Every structure is written in C-alpha cells, then in structure tokens.
Amino acid sequence: MTTTTPKPVQRFHFDRRQLLEIADAHRESYAPAQPFPHIVIDDFLPAGVLDEVLAEFPSPQRAEWHSFDSPTERKLGTKDDSMLGEATRHLLAEFNSAPFIDYLERLTGIEGLVPDPHFSGGGLHQIERGGHLKVHADFNRHPHTQLLRRLNVLVYLNRDWKDEFGGGLELWSQDMTRREREILPLFNRCVVFSTTDTSFHGHPEPLNCPDGMTRKSIALYYYSSSSGDGVRDHNTLFQPRPGEELPEPDVDNQPRRQRAKDAARLFLPPILLSLRGEVRRRRRPAGSAKAGRTPDGHIPEA
C-alpha cells in the first residue's frame, strides 16, 4: 500500500513590488482627501483569500466575542486570536508583515509604523441587524505598548451587499456639521485612513440587513513611537450628529483605580509607565489574570 504526502496549502503572501505600485498610484490623493486623509481601494486582495476567511468566520453565537451593547455601539469584536481559523491567522500576519508596513508608509508618508500583534480593539468585527456604531474618534494609545495610534485599515467581507442594508462607513467633518462621505462595506473593499482626535467616523444608523446576515470586516491598527506632543490621551470619543443626543460618559462611576491610571497616562512619560507595568507584572502571582478595560474603555465581558 502506498501513501502520498499531502501538498502544503499555498497561502497568500503580499508582493512588495505590487504593493508599492499601488501606493505610488494613490499617495498623491491620500493626504488631501476630505474630511481627513483616507483612501478606498476595491478588489484589494485575491477574492479567494477572503473567501477562505469567510468560510471560517465565527458565527455571532460564539461565546468568544466581545459583545458591546450600549446607546453608542452595538457590535461584536474578537477578544484574541484563539477563535480564528488558520487562513484568518495567516492573513492577519500578512497585514503585520514588512511588505505591508512598507506599503502603508509609502502611501501615507508616515514613517516608523509599528503593527499590533495583539490586535487590541481590532481583528474581526461583526455587526448584526439593528447594530450600529455612533460617530467617533478612536482611542489613541495602545493599551500595552503606549505607542501612538496613526492608521486604521479596514477590509470588508460582505458579498452581495445592497444600499438598503445600510452600514456604510460615514466620514464626518471636524466640526461635526456634515457627513463628507459614506463608504459602503462591499466585499474586498479596503479603506485606509489616518487616526487623529478629529477623524470622526462610524455607521450611526441601525443596520437593516436581513436576519441571519451580518456586516463583517477585518480591522487593523498601526502605531508609531512618536510621543504625540500636544496630543491628549483618550479612549473612544463619541460625537453627536446635528440634532442627536448621546449619553454623557459616566466618569463618576469609573473605578477609582482606572481614573488614577488615566491621570497617570496623561502626565507620566511612556518609559515610566512601561517600567511601572513591568514591575506590576513581575509582582503578580503566576497564573493570575488581570481584569481591565478594553481599548474602547469598556469592562470586558466575564
């Protein structure tokens, strides 16, 4: 009886030359884009690569999702990579690879970009019918490294998406008086945009897709070692649209330890914060877990 050795799966890898060509074709339009620097590129990846990710995309019923349900957001996000399939893990690693970082730096003009192997706040996102994400600017410091957040990359996974489903990514003016652009979350559409205190975006209207269908995306964030002089550290900053009221952040009910931590991050240099965190980790008993807030300022689900 003879046996054959199965052929290894041929995984996708970014081609540096092709990526730089794409960057050169779009970099002149990136910085002046309104209301903040961004670019939209369709058919960004071979369709089969995303089909593999879709085939192993976790259902909303999986317990491993972070579930956010509040007046400002109703969505699902991955907690870590433990729930991800092989194809998804490989693709996320490619988005953190040197060729893709070189592409982003050439496209945006931002040098010294650092990917996030933790995928803090990123990874896979999923929104069910009725879900929403109010207009906001993102948190601007990585919770572990304290690096300054510079870029968002979104890749949408929604085949046969129709206008009436809603769920478009809205880009709003700095003064929040008008929506400048709406980007439908179409399959294999890639959006890159600069992350600042005024890069206001979201999809604020409840999703109107059929029951059983969800709005799926990959979210990746990139950082730099810049100290961000003059930049105030913050969690997600939700903004009301004209005529809209949003609940005030419940600062008084924030745990005292969290308020002290937020204050320390405002006034202590990043190197001291890093050393303080390392000391606490060494003091923590082996096998113990630390509960805390997600990068969006939420207490993780138990």
Instruction: Convert the pLDDT of each residue in 36-47 to its tens digit.
Output: 999 999 999 999
Residue position matching structure tokens 């419940």: 250
Mean pLDDT on 291-297 = 41
Torsion angle in degrees (nearest 10) through CA of 96, 16, 41, 197: 40
Q: What is the pTM of this model?
A: 0.81
- Give dist(CA 118, CA 123) in Å, integer: 9
Helix, strand or coil, per DSSP, at residue 165: helix
**Model confidence band, residue 227 (pLDDT cutoffs 50, 70, 90):** low
Q: Which domains does the chain have, with CATH numbers?
A: 16-247 (2.60.120.620), 250-283 (no CATH)
| pLDDT surpasses 50 at 161 | yes
* Cβ neighbours for 154, distance < 8 A, ≥ 6 positions apart: 169, 190, 191, 192, 217, 218, 219, 220
Residue 75 clears pLDDT 80, i.e. is over it: yes
Nearest Cα to Cα of residue 127 among 66, 80, 172, 183: 66
pLDDT > 60? residue 233 = yes
What confidence score (pLDDT) does residue 183 get? 98
Kindly state the average pLDDT of the residues 103-108. 98
Residue 200 pLDDT greater than 70, yes or no? yes
User: What would the mean pLDDT of 203-219 be, rounded to a whole number?
Assistant: 96
Portion of the chain with pLDDT greater than 70, in percent: 77
Between 27 and 289, residue with greater pLDDT: 27
pLDDT score recorded for residue 144: 87
Q: Backbone phi, then psi, for 164, in 5-degree steps?
A: -70, -10
